[in-house]
Structure 1
Amino acid sequence: MKGIDKKWIYLAILSVVWGSSFILIKKALIGLTPLELGALRTLFAAAFLLLIGFRKLKTIHKREWKWIAVSGFLGTFIPAFLFAFAETEIDSAVASILNSTTPIMTLLLGAVAFSIGFTRNQLIGVIIGLVGSFLLIWSGSEINPNQNYWYAGLVLVASVCYACNVNIIKRHLQNVPALAITAGQFSVIIIPAVIVLLGSGFFSEATFQAKALYPSLGYLLILALVGTALAKVLYNTLVQISTPIFASSVTYNIPVIALLWGVLDGEQFGWFQLVATGIILLGVLLSKKT
């Protein structure tokens, strides 16, 4: 490890962890509804993070709490439900590839909302990446006509949420410890998650009689503790020690891991989809160049 920049180590770990998250969502949805999955994922992660990071909350200044709250909803709460609903209709591998547009969205949001300039190459990258996204959605609908690819739009919305979040952390929470940010985020969204869970019908007798519930809860527990809680701390640290574009480039490697899991699970993935994936990643690459 000596001589290796710490940010690259974080990037590698996050790539594997988040690349495996999409198949875990898919498996958890066998016994849970999207609302139950999103709420329980948030609550499990919140319990763990507040257990280890509660004391860090006092390091957050009053003026920073509004950004912690916005970051919590955009970076965690809303995407948890968007991905859960999306994967009821599209394959986990496709969801992960569309999620790789996050650096592109980060660039666009940085220019529009945070007055961060971009170059001609980056603009070309944005256009190429978005074209690749539409091609991926179209080709997926041809290979899997039984799937509703309008749900792919939910993943793109989640990417916009992530893009907003990474810019907020970099601009407004740069000096807040990563664990404090993460614990603060979940302390804000824990009550909304409880409300959603109570309204989801999870506590009905039929839910606990279903055989698929308990394996799904096992997948969800791994997703929440590793793919959400620990990964969020690592990601918030990565944003602080690098740049928003570098941190969001974790989405380069996520599709590779997710695609391997998807193929092993029997998901269909055609050559044209691979071409569309390459176009997206080319767009992401160009969007990072100056």
Structure 2
Amino acid sequence: MPYFWFVVICLIWGSSFVLMKRATLCLSPIGVGAGRAIGGTLVLALIFLFMKQKRTIRREDFLPLVAVVILGFVWPHSLQPEMVARHGGAFVGMTVGFTPLLTILVSIPILGLWPTKRQTIGVIGALACMLLLLMDLGKQSIPLTDILLTFSVPLTYSVANGIIRRSLKHLPPLELTLLCLASAGAVMLPLSLVVGNHREADPNQFALALASVAILGVVGTGIATFLFNRMVQQQGPLFAAMTTNLVPVGAFMWGHSDGERISTMQVAALVGILAMVTFVQVGAARPAALELSSAEQ
């Protein structure tokens, strides 16, 4: 089952960028992030109540949880829609693919984990492919500040994954995800009202924007993040983070269908990334991971 959920997460998140693009037609980037968090909170709260789970969070979990909320939710969910609106989903989706490499780097100081030879070869190979993408993107005249801001997202994702593995592993994935999304929504919603939208909204696209945020919240943020946090806890941050190597594939496909520039070099690089993911992931999953217990069914 871990490979099945791995593919499901890749498909969902690969489609998230085109939804962000549609949502920012009428909503501010922070508003999109707030909508995602609130939508995810509602669906997971219903699941939490239906499953009648007990709260297990402890007082000492507060600081690690705050760090995960800021680094893994508030910052990326506010920044990504802005970058998508400026430069398209293919560019932003590509940068997310750096998460596994950064996860290896941050896992050394945070978790004391050193990568295996196979993991190192696979991730370095994926990095080489991603550098080909960067070379091609350099021809598109994207400002350096926007590139650095966008690349900060995989870094904060990697740190958040490491914190979850180190300090929040005892929390059930459903409770952890619900707490993170509810906290992120509580932070971003007031910010969205203060910051406002600096773009002119298209009233004809309002229904499409709301529908996009709803799908992002329920499916792309609530359900997919719950599955991802479960994978981080049970398979480890590197196995889970490798999903982000496949996210660019979906982002590029949607970007191509939306008229964004897709070059031959970009396609070749993505094929190489797929090969590296296969190399690292085949046989890497733990047999018991992501299996639902009888209490959860």
Q: TM-score range by the shorter chain?
A: 0.7 to 0.9
Q: Work out the CA distance in 1 between the residues paired with 2:117 and 2:102.
A: 16
Q: Work out the CA distance in 2 between the residues paired with 1:283 and 1:108.
A: 18
The answer as to 2:165 corresponding to 1:170 is yes
Residue aligning to 1:3: none
The answer as to 2:239 corresponding to 1:246 is yes
CA RMSD of the aligned region, Å?
A: 2.8
Residue aligning to 2:207: 214
Superposed CA offset, 1:179-204 (max 9, x none) = 110111123223211221221236xx
Q: Work out the CA distance in 1 between the residues paired with 2:53 and 2:62.
A: 13
**Structure 1 residues without counterparts, runs of 5 or longer:** 1-5
The answer as to 2:73 corresponding to 1:82 is no
Classify the secondary structure of the residue corresponding to 1:32.
coil
8 Å CA contact 1:7–1:241 kept in 2: the answer is no
Classify the secondary structure of the residue corresponding to 2:259.
coil
Superposed CA offset, 1:17-49 (max 9, x none) = 111111111111222222222222223323333
The answer as to 2:94 corresponding to 1:97 is yes
Q: Work out the CA distance in 2 between the residues paired with 1:90 and 1:46.
A: 29
Q: Work out the CA distance in 2 between the residues paired with 1:120 and 1:45.
A: 37
| Matched residue type, 2:61 | E
Classify the secondary structure of the residue corresponding to 2:223.
helix
Q: Work out the CA distance in 1 between the residues paired with 2:143 and 2:138.
A: 7
Which one of 111, 117, 121 corresponds to residue 114 of structure 1? 111
Residue aligning to 1:230: 223
Tell me the TM-score normalized by structure 1. 0.83
Superposed CA offset, 1:163-218 (max 9, x none) = 1111111121222111110111123223211221221236xxx86x8332231111
**Number of equivalenced pairs:** 279
Which one of 177, 183, 186 corresponds to residue 188 of structure 1? 183
8 Å CA contact 1:101–1:284 kept in 2: the answer is no
The residue correspondences of 1:54-73 to structure 2 (distance < 5 A) are 56=53, 58-73=55-70
Give the stretch that moved more between structures: 30-39 or 41-50: 41-50
| Matched residue type, 1:232 | T
8 Å CA contact 1:18–1:254 kept in 2: the answer is yes
